[in-house]
Amino acid sequence: MIGAAQSRRRIRLLIWKEFLQLRRDPLLVRLLFIMPILQLVLFGYVVAADVKHLSTAVVDLDRTSTSQALTAHFTGSDYFTVTQYPAETGVQQLMDTGRIAIAIVIPEGTQAALDRGEAAPIGVLVDGSDSQVASVGSGYAAQVIARYNAERVANAGVVLAAPGIDARVRVMFNPTLAAVNTMIPGLVAAIVMISIMVVMGQAVVKERERGTLEQMFVTPIKPVEYLIGKVTPYALLATAQLLLVAGVGVFWFKVPFAGQVSVVAAGLGLFMLTAIGMGLLISLVSHTRQQAQQMMMLLLLPSFVLSGFIFPLDSMPAAIQPLSWFIPLTWAIQILRGAFIKGSGFEALALQFWVLGGFAVVIFGAAIAATRRRLAE
């Protein structure tokens, strides 16, 4: 009992020490809370990028030569890659799990309506959780249908305008295609990564430069106590930032939240462990704060570019896309966008949680082991 009480007291003192050090650097504390607001303003709205090879599903309920020809126009386009031919009831599941970004529904009786000289509506379902992909994809789908309709009319020898295929586009999850609705959830994850890595990346190396780390080694503090005392203040600071960013996104930018708080909390918890682990590893291997800053830039730049945060993954070359699988921010963004916009639960996001959980175990576990070994030397 006495030992446990002393351990808790040492942890409280370590936490208090970290907060005192932050208090002595008021500019850093102000920047940590001003930076999210600036990022929200700068990245709140993003210009859509060109998107190709969208994962597409075709629901052919007509099963005629017309529906086959229309499907061929989509498969022959560089902007669509038809990967699924599900029943109409299977579209929702495919879109929930992110296996398709767009679905073309050809209703029964399409060819018969065209033969009678009537308009034939074609359904285009677009995943609006990524507004850039949804905006570009729906426009390209309408162009493909219009081009097929023009060819059909020309082949029939019709000179005057005649009823044809009528594309009915319906965007799921984000009907307004507001870019801010997809940017804010991704920005939450990005801010977690930036803030934690910036502070944690210099936590140990700063003490090494000041000579206080060696003084810490001669105290009765245990490695576990040091880790808890070192990590807790910054985890609390990151949580405060998250609440600030989420509050601004929901109440200022009016970003809808259709999911469950538990899904968001679990995803961010795993991602925070990953970011803390990366920050600790950087701080342990760096000898100066300048080295730590360079290493952080080395990790942050590819994370932002290849994770789908700024540029859609579908717009990247096929050879580069697999690199995004090895970036934790990729999976965190997918969880947050799925929870915020789609309302996806743990079942639909199971793959993302498993991968992000694997990153958290490996990276945070490696950071703990490296810190304990460093303190034991």
Say if CB 304 and CB 372 are below 8 A apart. Answer: no
Identify the pLDDT of residue 163. 54
Under DSSP, the state recorded for 79 is: T
Identify the pLDDT of residue 168. 66
Helix or strand run (H / E) with residue 60: strand 54-60
Q: What are residue 106's DSSP bridge partners?
A: 60
Identify the pLDDT of residue 364. 87
CA angle 82, 173, 180 (to 5 degrees): 105
Identify the pLDDT of residue 207. 66
Give the percent of the chain with pLDDT over 70: 74
Q: Give backbone dihedrals phi and psi of 178, rounded to 5 degrees, phi first.
A: -70, 125
Across the range 38-42, mean pLDDT stands at 60
- Residue by residue, DSSP assigns 125-176 as EEETTSHHHHHHHHHHHHHHHHHHHHHHHHHTT--S----EEEEEEEES-TT
Across the range 126-139, mean pLDDT stands at 78
Residue 160: band (very low, low, confident or very high) from pLDDT cuts 50, 70, 90: very low
Spatial strand order in the sheet of 102-106: 80-84, 54-60, 102-106, 120-127, 165-172
Count of CA atoms in the C-beta half-sphere (13 A) of 298 = 10
Identify the pLDDT of residue 301. 78
Residue 288: pLDDT over 90: no
Across the range 122-137, mean pLDDT stands at 80
- Number of Cβ atoms within 10 Å of the Cβ of 1: 5
Identify the pLDDT of residue 360. 92
Give the percent of the chain with pLDDT over 90: 10
Where are the domains positioned within the chain? 2-43+179-376, 54-172
Report the distance separating Cα 333 and Cα 345, nearest Å.
14
Q: What are residue 170's DSSP bridge partners?
A: 125
Place of tokens 């945060």: 309
Say if CB 174 and CB 182 are below 8 A apart. Answer: yes
Count of CA atoms in the C-beta half-sphere (13 A) of 278 = 25
Report the distance separating Cα 256 and Cα 259, nearest Å.
9
- Of residues 187 and 108, more confidence is placed in 108
Residue 374: pLDDT over 80: no
Identify the pLDDT of residue 332. 92
Report the distance separating Cα 172 and Cα 244, nearest Å.
28
Residue 331: band (very low, low, confident or very high) from pLDDT cuts 50, 70, 90: very high
Identify the pLDDT of residue 376. 59
Residue 13: pLDDT over 70: no
Measured in whole angstroms, the distance separating CA 43 from the mean position of its chain's CA atoms is 14
Residue 47: band (very low, low, confident or very high) from pLDDT cuts 50, 70, 90: very low
Identify the pLDDT of residue 119. 79
Across the range 253-282, mean pLDDT stands at 85
Residue 307: band (very low, low, confident or very high) from pLDDT cuts 50, 70, 90: confident
Identify the pLDDT of residue 89. 85
List Cβ<8 Å contacts ≥24 apart for 75-79.
77/140, 77/144, 78/52, 78/53, 79/51, 79/52, 79/53, 79/54, 79/136, 79/137, 79/140, 79/144
- Given 3.90.480.20, 3.40.50.300, 3.30.930.10, 3.40.1710.10, which CATH number is that of 54-172? 3.40.1710.10
Pairing verdict, β 120-127 and 102-106: antiparallel
CA-wise closest residue to 327 among 137, 166, 190, 152 = 190
Is the whole-model pTM more than 0.75? no
Report the distance separating Cα 360 and Cα 274, nearest Å.
5
Across the range 247-261, mean pLDDT stands at 79
List Cβ<8 Å contacts ≥24 apart for 299-308.
299/197, 300/193, 300/194, 300/197, 302/327, 303/193, 303/327, 303/328, 303/329, 304/190, 304/329, 306/330, 307/333, 308/130, 308/186, 308/333, 308/334
Determine the 3-state secondary structure of 370 from DSSP.
helix
Identify the pLDDT of residue 121. 85
Residue 205: pLDDT over 60: yes
Count of CA atoms in the C-beta half-sphere (13 A) of 224 = 3
CA-wise closest residue to 265 among 287, 289, 243 = 243
Identify the pLDDT of residue 45. 44
Q: What are residue 105's DSSP bridge partners?
A: 59, 123
How confident is the model over 23-32, as pLDDT tens digits? 666 665 666 6
Residue 297: pLDDT over 70: yes
Across the range 265-273, mean pLDDT stands at 89
Mean pLDDT (the chain) is 78
Q: Which of 137-141, 159-163, 171-175, 336-340 has the highest mean pLDDT?
A: 336-340
Identify the pLDDT of residue 159. 47
How confident is the model over 62-88, as pLDDT tens digits? 999 888 988 998 888 888 889 899 988
Residue 165: pLDDT over 80: no
Say if CB 57 and CB 85 are below 8 A apart. Answer: yes
Find the Cα–Cα–Cα–Cα dihedral 144, 147, 148, 153, rounded to 10°. Answer: 160
